[in-house]
Amino acid sequence: MTSGAHSSEYILVVEDDRDVRETLCEALILEGYSVVCVENGRAALGHLLANVPPCIILLDLMMPVMDGWTFRSEMLKFPALASVPVVVMTAASAARAAAAAAKAILYKPLDMGTVVGTVQEYCPHGAA
C-alpha cells in the first residue's frame, strides 16, 4: 500500500505483520499523510536508497529477512539517511528496543492515537 513518495513529506512504515501494517498505513492516510508500507528491513533499505528519505520511519524490530536492528545498522552507514528519525514499534524489552537507537519506542499493542501523535512531532505538515 503506497500513497506517494516523491518528497520527504511521507512516512515509511516497516512492519512484517500484514494486518498491523495495513492498519497503520490506512490510519495514517486517513490523517492526511502520504505513506509507503514495506514488509521488512531489506525492502525498506531498498526503498530508501532509491527515493528521497521520509520525514519519519516507523520500524518494527522483529521481522524476517532483515530485522529492525540490522536495518538500523545498515541505514546508519548512509549519511543522507542517518538523520531520518526512526520510531520503533515493538513488543521487545526496553533494553532490546533501545539498542535500535530510535527517537522513540512505541510498545505493542499499538495505540493509534499515540502513533499519530508521535508522527505529528516529526511530520507536522501531513495532518489535515
Q: Calculate mean pLDDT across residues 39-63.
A: 95
In a domain? residue 82:
yes
Least confident range from 64-68, 99-103, 122-126: namely: 122-126
Beta-carbon count within 10 A of 79 CB: 7
**DSSP 8-state secondary structure symbol assigned to residue 40:** S
| CA dihedral (22, 2, 38, 103) positive or negative | negative
18: domain CATH number is 3.40.50.2300
Residue 128 lies in a domain: no
The pLDDT assigned to 119 comes to 94
The stretch 54-76 carries a mean pLDDT of 94
Number of domains in the chain: 1
Whole domain around residue 100: which residue ranges? 10-122
Q: What is the pLDDT of residues 2-30, one digit of tens each?
A: 444 434 689 999 999 999 999 999 999 99
